[in-house]
Amino acid sequence: MAKRRNDMTIRLAGEAGQGVESGGAGFAKALSHGGLHLHAFAEYMSRIRGGLNFFQIRVSDHPLWAHTEGVHMLLAFSPETMSQYGSHIVPGGALMFDDALKFDHDAITRRKAQLYSMPLTKIAQEIGGNKIMANTCGLGALAGIIEYPFEFVAGVIKQNFARKGDAVVQGNLKVAEEGYRVGRERYAASFDWKVSPLAERPDRMMINGNQALAVGAIAAGCRFMSGYPMTPASSVLEFMAAQARKHDIVVKQTEDEIAAILFAIGAGNAGARAMTATSGGGFSLMVEALGLAGMAEVPVVIVEAQRPGPSTGMPTKTEQGDLLFALFASQGEFPRIVLAPGTQEECFHTATRAFNLAEKWQCPVIVMTDFYLTTMMRLIPPAEFPIERVAIDRGELLTPEQLDRLAEPYLRYRDTPSGISPRAMPGHPKAVHQACSDEHDEYGHFEDEDSANRLMMAGKRWRKFHNIVEDLRGPTIYGPEGAKTTLMGWGSSYGAMREAVDILNARGARANLLHFVDIWPFPEAKATPLIEAARELVAVEGNQSGQFAHLVRAVTGRRPDKMVLRWDGRPLSSEYIIQRLEEAKVHA
């Protein structure tokens, strides 16, 4: 059988504390240095030690948009790994393990998978003097089996262990090199998947969704970030804190999520571009303050990184279960904007747009991600993040010079045709005003619940809602026109849908997709013709009830013909989508 090059999936798996994530990230870095495309993500349990974790790397010489359910090589660090993930190995694939591990070999070989026993611990002890280097040996063996040049693995080892001193670096290099030699000699000939570096290695960076959002926020001029750590949003706060001094950003870790959003609202009211980030449980605590931002018309950006609920739910798994909650959170009616990027590139651009939209329309903007998108990594060309070309629109923000020339009294909440009132930073003597959580008049003063004033102020705010939609974008389309089957999704469903469309079309079927980033206000005029044109509309979502499908039906009247839903805490994949389509007898 001909060897298949640069198209495989590798999974490292074991218990928490066995170096699964660090080892996987290091091997992904070594592969990235070969100029290849990568998609990597981790799955781990919400505990410090114990429980099964894995780090999965997909590598190819063509762009990758999603993970795969099947793996070609499983490097197992614990016996439980075999029973849990052995069924994921594709026929002809292999399970590599330390020869000291005991497990049922027949359960693996029945699936036509190969067993690659390696003396990982023995090599680590004899060559490196410490069994803790067994993981390094396994990564070296893995590189040898797929015949990936050792120099790339060696480079990462030198970089990762440099701070521990030359002795540690040299020990790990010797162990990895011996693992490489033994793995290649024993198993390279029988393993059909190989990885080779490209002759030309373009400049690309490995980045996850949270990092891309944070880079976009910095490029957009974010100057204040507050938050309380909550998986999977915590790394946004961590990234911003790490960059705070360089980019003149104030970052505050608050005592809870209520304080986090109030800090951000206060900063937004003072004129700073401000954001906070949390997950569904934290956003639940922020809801009352969200209404304050709506009533006081304060621009603020809120990242809502979804995970399965209700309550604590599954803290380290993924889901798209908070959409309708975000659309209607807090009491009363007021404009808010909801955006849901689907890729790292969209995370960057959505963050830059979120701050512009928040300031232009003087309202909260909620950016919805999920565990999968926030932690999943891809290699992205730096040109996809054009920081120097980011335009900043501060809306109706009066300059000090404009305030100096102001002849009439400053009305912070002036009733205007667009619903947007003039806004000024506090401190100017002609811009003194109240920001009131009660219904108020144009000055911001509490108006004793006057009905006429209520109609004027509520009407002013709601005009913004109807005008905002002109600034929002319709769905992107991928695939051939006139397709028989149209997949429709939002947020992180994009990658899996795109690869499913490619697979279906390669089989001779005709399929395309509609992907939404701008969710609310729903871009009805831009989306409805595309939705109505779909011959067979299939809603694809990571939740149990089809929340976006319900929204589409409420606005457009179109009910999806079928729904592909996933709510087990795992991300959508092209295989999952196609399998569910086949089960539903949807033939593109």
pTM of the predicted structure, to 2 decimals = 0.95
C-beta separation of 5 from 194 below 8 A = yes
How much of the chain is helix, strand and coil, in % rounded to 5?
45, 20, 35
Residue 302: closest CA among 278, 280, 271: 278
At residue 477, the 3 state secondary structure works out as strand
Token pair of 534 as six digits? 């779909």
State CA 480 to chain mean position distance.
27
We find that the CATH architecture of domain 210-389 is 3-Layer(aba) Sandwich (3.40)
Report d(CA 128, CA 146) in Å as an integer: 23
pLDDT at 302: 98
Report d(CA 62, CA 75) in Å as an integer: 24
User: Considering all CA atoms of the chain, what is the largest pairwise distance in Å, rounded to the nearest integer?
Assistant: 87
Cβ-Cβ contacts under 8 Å for 391 (sequence gap 6 or more): 356
C-beta separation of 56 from 42 below 8 A = yes
Residue 231: closest CA among 39, 370, 51: 370
C-beta separation of 26 from 6 below 8 A = no
Q: Locate tokens 């075999």: which residue?
A: 82
How big is the chain by its Cα radius of gyration, in Å?
A: 26
At residue 328, the 3 state secondary structure works out as helix
For the chain, what are the domain ranges?
Answer: 4-194, 210-389, 400-457, 476-583
At residue 249, the 3 state secondary structure works out as coil
C-beta separation of 73 from 8 below 8 A = yes
- The secondary structure element, H or E, covering residue 324 is helix 323-328
C-beta separation of 371 from 307 below 8 A = yes
Q: Which CATH class is domain 476-583?
A: alpha beta
Parts of the chain with a pLDDT under 70: 1-2, 50, 586-588
Report d(CA 245, CA 525) in Å as an integer: 44
pLDDT at 588: 46
Cβ-Cβ contacts under 8 Å for 504 (sequence gap 6 or more): 485, 510, 511, 578, 588
What separation in angstroms does the CA of 69 have from each of 39, 86, 250, 451, 570?
13, 12, 41, 59, 10
C-beta separation of 168 from 214 below 8 A = no
Cβ-Cβ contacts under 8 Å for 26 (sequence gap 6 or more): 139, 156, 157, 160
Report d(CA 19, CA 222) in Å as an integer: 35
CB atoms under 10 Å from CB of 455, counted, come to 10
- The secondary structure element, H or E, covering residue 28 is helix 20-32
pLDDT by residue (tens digit) across 233-251?
Answer: 999 999 999 999 999 999 9
- Whether 476-583 and 4-194 are alike in CATH topology: the answer is no
> What is the side-by-side order of every strand in the sheet holding 300-306?
250-253, 224-227, 274-279, 300-306, 364-370, 337-339, 518-520
Angle made by CA atoms 149, 90, 490, in degrees to the nearest 5: 95
Cβ-Cβ contacts under 8 Å for 529 (sequence gap 6 or more): none
Angle made by CA atoms 491, 496, 501, in degrees to the nearest 5: 115
Quickly name the fold that domain 4-194 has.
Answer: Pyruvate-ferredoxin Oxidoreductase; domain 3 (3.40.920)
pLDDT at 5: 80
State CA 399 to chain mean position distance.
37
Report d(CA 282, CA 311) in Å as an integer: 10
Report d(CA 11, CA 117) in Å as an integer: 16
- The secondary structure element, H or E, covering residue 419 is none
pLDDT at 229: 96
